[in-house]
Amino acid sequence: MGSGSVRWAFRCGSWAPTRPEWLHAARCIQREEKDRIGQFMFAKDAKSAMCGRLLLRRLVCERMEVPWSDIRLERSPRGKPYLAKTTPDSASAGSGEWAWNFNLSHQGDFTVLAAQEGRQVGVDVMKTTMPGSSSVPEFFRIMTRQFTEYEWSVIQSSGSEHQQLAAFYRHWALKESFIKAIGTGLGFNLQRVEFHLSSELLTEGRVLRHTKMYLDEEEEEDWIFEESLLDAEHHVAVALGPQDKGGAGALLSSLPPPSHFTFLSFSDLISLAMPLTEEDPAYWESFEKKAEAPERQREKCTHK
Ligand SMILES: CC(C)(COP(=O)(O)OP(=O)(O)OC[C@H]1O[C@@H](n2cnc3c(N)ncnc32)[C@H](O)[C@@H]1OP(=O)(O)O)[C@@H](O)C(=O)NCCC(=O)NCCS
């Protein structure tokens, strides 16, 4: 059995797919996902979603040992991807019986995947960017309800405007990683969860595991949050739920030491991939015409 945890990152922001790359990638994902990705207006969104599918399939193929062409990814009613049973009489039928849990996030320049054996997992990556059209205080005002009074006091006392924004996005990634681990999506009242950052500095090259979460004012000791920086601007948080009680996860030993995100190349993403559908030249023609990102986002600069 592997080390029990996978942390992969792909820098989509600097990926300019060639025609053969894009057409091959499109052939190697499920048809409905290919169609969904084809409908994005901007290339940035299409690329990050495509890389997400390739990351997920690679994980399932490599770590869960399901042949690429048997992998069937589905989504919960709220959108969280999971692995469906491979064949009607498969021994490991049903998503609940896999020891691996996984989750994806794409934002800023990265698509990331976190997977863990025996624990529920949620991941979120956030790039520290200046708000598009408002000042930082105005932006914070609009976001008031996303954080508790205590969290705002920490964010707003963290130094320069840029440091405050970095603290904001750090908290955001933490909150979102939890929401994504439990899979509820937008319906969750974010005031119910409060993060207490560890006093250790979050710097590039480190993975911190000391941040604590309070749910309805009680510390959740079974939840673990791993925080790291992919680069100076991208915070990533991985939420790990309590050890699974039943199923294969219960047989596993305790959590391995925190691991850094590994940066994959496009060749890594497709190294195990197998075409599932025919080549579709029109898919490239439509991709080629897309603008990279909305005008406002392309102009938006980060501020140090
Ligand atoms: C979908 C959601 C879970 C996260 O969306 P997001 O942060 O915009 O996007 P991310 O890039 O981090 O994650 C998207 C990926 O998460 C996965 N995902 C989708 N729905 C999910 C769910 N309910 N639970 C967990 N993961 C989910 C998918 O893999 C998706 O990528 P894909 O559609 O290309 O496969 C949704 O809850 C959301 O929009 N939440 C925002 C709530 C909010 O206001 N947060 C403020 C925090 S302070």
pLDDT digits (tens, 9 = 90+) for 22-76: 999 999 999 999 999 999 999 999 999 999 999 999 999 999 999 999 999 999 9
pLDDT at 9 over 50: yes
Phi and psi torsions of 61, nearest 5°: -70, -50
Residue 173: pLDDT band by 50, 70, 90 thresholds?
very high
Our mutation pick for probing the ligand 1 site, out of 30, 40, 104, counting the most ligand atoms within 8 A of Cβ, is 104
pLDDT digits (tens, 9 = 90+) for 288-303: 999 999 886 655 544 4
What pLDDT, on a 0 to 100 scale, did the predictor assign at position 304? 34
The residue whose CA is least distant from atom 26 of ligand 1 is: 80
- Residue 45 inside a domain? The answer is yes
How far apart CA 243 and CA 224 sit, in angstroms, is 10
Whether residue 194 contacts residue 200, with contact meaning beta carbons closer than 8 Å, is answered with no
In the block, tokens 């750090």 appear at: 170
The residue whose CA is least distant from atom 18 of ligand 1 is: 80
- Residue 304 inside a domain? The answer is no
Letter for the amino acid at 252? L
**Could you give the percent of the chain with pLDDT greater than 90?**
80
- Residue 153 inside a domain? The answer is yes
In the block, tokens 């680069």 appear at: 231
141 Cα–ligand 1 center, Å: 23
The residue whose CA is least distant from atom 41 of ligand 1 is: 186
Quick check: CB of 79 below 6 Å from ligand 1?
yes
Quick check: CB of 175 below 6 Å from ligand 1?
yes
16 is written with which tokens? 């300019």
pLDDT at 118 over 60: yes
How far apart CA 220 and CA 42 sit, in angstroms, is 39
Mean per-residue pLDDT, 137-150: 95
Instruction: Please give the C-alpha separations between residue 133 and each of 55, 170, 296, 301, 304, in angstroms, as whole numbers.
Output: 33, 21, 9, 12, 18
- Residue 271 inside a domain? The answer is yes
Quick check: CB of 176 below 6 Å from ligand 1?
yes
88: Cα separation from own chain's centroid:
30
80 Cα–ligand 1 center, Å: 8
Quick check: CB of 82 below 6 Å from ligand 1?
no
Q: For residue 48, give the ligand 1 atom closest to its CA.
A: 34
Letter for the amino acid at 87? T
Which of 52-66, 127-141, 235-249 tops mean pLDDT?
A: 52-66
Beta bridge partners of residue 82, listed in sequence order: 74
Least confident window among 117-126, 196-205, 216-225, 240-249: 240-249
What pLDDT, on a 0 to 100 scale, did the predictor assign at position 132? 82
Both ends of the chain: CA-CA distance in Å? 43
How far apart CA 55 and CA 49 sit, in angstroms, is 10
Quick check: CB of 104 below 6 Å from ligand 1?
yes
pLDDT digits (tens, 9 = 90+) for 177-187: 999 999 998 88
Does the predicted TM-score (pTM) go above 0.85?
yes
Mean per-residue pLDDT, 106-135: 94
- Residue 63 inside a domain? The answer is yes
Number of structural domains the chain divides into:
1
Quick check: CB of 48 below 6 Å from ligand 1?
no
Find the domain containing 267 and state its range. 5-299
- Residue 170 inside a domain? The answer is yes
127 Cα–ligand 1 center, Å: 15
- CATH code for the domain of 31: 3.90.470.20
Q: What is the mean pLDDT of the chain?
A: 90
pLDDT digits (tens, 9 = 90+) for 195-212: 999 888 899 999 999 999
- Residue 196 inside a domain? The answer is yes
57 Cα–ligand 1 center, Å: 18
Quick check: CB of 30 below 6 Å from ligand 1?
no
What pLDDT, on a 0 to 100 scale, did the predictor assign at position 246? 62
**Could you give the percent of the chain with pLDDT greater than 70?**
89
Whether residue 96 contacts residue 77, with contact meaning beta carbons closer than 8 Å, is answered with no
Give the CB-side neighbour count of residue 29, counting CA atoms within 13 A. 27
50 Cα–ligand 1 center, Å: 15
- Residue 60 inside a domain? The answer is yes
Q: For residue 125, give the ligand 1 atom closest to its CA.
A: 12
Instruction: Please give the C-alpha separations between residue 125 and each of 95, 169, 177, 183, in angstroms, as whole numbers.
Output: 25, 9, 9, 16
pLDDT digits (tens, 9 = 90+) for 245-262: 765 544 445 778 888 999
Mean per-residue pLDDT, 160-169: 96
